[in-house]
Amino acid sequence: MTTRAGVILSGGLDSTVCLAIADRDCDEVLAVTYDYGQRHKVEVGHAAAVAASYGAEHLVVPIDLRGWGGSALTDDTIAIPDDGGAGIPVTYVPARNLIFLAVAVGIAEARDLDAVYIGVNALDYSGYPDCRPEFVDAFAATAALALKRGVEGNPVDVRAPLIAMPKADIVRLAIELDAPLHLTYSCYRGGDRPCGACDSCRIRAAAFADASIADPAS
């Protein structure tokens, strides 16, 4: 049986490894990138390059989360900190993964995809609540109730293969799968070059350091 998957692709490290996994495990892959008013919109172009390197169809979905703000990533009046600090940081975007997954399973139903991949990780991460396994599990159950194919006993499989992996292992897996790390981009600040100081840059740098691998995109 042909397996078809959608992959939520930001153009960063984790989602690119997710695409590599889906490309390995599925017959057809559709990459979905959200153009959500993020300060680091430059990532959308990186996502396109990553998708192209796999010959995958790439759907860019505009959904502007700036209309209500509430995050340093979607509101220019909130500065991006160098250190997220304790608790849930200001770079948290309210309901982002909930919205991204909701749209992705809608696309999956409309385009007859069997699975949706999301590259969330709950180990070396920023403490966002919508990256935790209990959220992903609850979402999958909710989607099964929302969708026609769930009612028909054939729910969309929601996969988060990186959720329990140390970030250094994600880097190692990227190398193993020959993922195009040189095309990826992770910086929250969205400059031409990664700032190296924001939470996302620091977590990425630590992962490459732990894996003793040079980051080809730095």
By CB under 8 A, name the binding residues for a second copy.
59, 61-65, 67-71, 88, 92-99, 101-103, 105-107, 109-111, 129-130, 132, 134-135, 138-139, 141-143, 145-148, 150-151
Helix 199-210 crosses helix 167-176 at what angle (to 10 degrees)? 70
Q: How far is it, in rounded angstroms, from Cα 161 to Cα 200? A: 20
Residue type, 108: A
We find the least distance from the C-beta atom of residue 60 to a second copy, in angstroms, to be 9
Q: Which is nearer to a second copy, 131 or 174 (CB)?
A: 131
We find the least distance from the C-beta atom of residue 216 to a second copy, in angstroms, to be 32
Q: How far is it, in rounded angstroms, from Cα 108 to Cα 17? A: 20
We find the least distance from the C-beta atom of residue 67 to a second copy, in angstroms, to be 6
**Six token digits for residue 128:** 């966002």
We find the least distance from the C-beta atom of residue 151 to a second copy, in angstroms, to be 5
CA distances from 139 to 131, 136, 183 (A): 11, 5, 30
Q: Which is nearer to a second copy, 15 or 74 (CB)?
A: 74
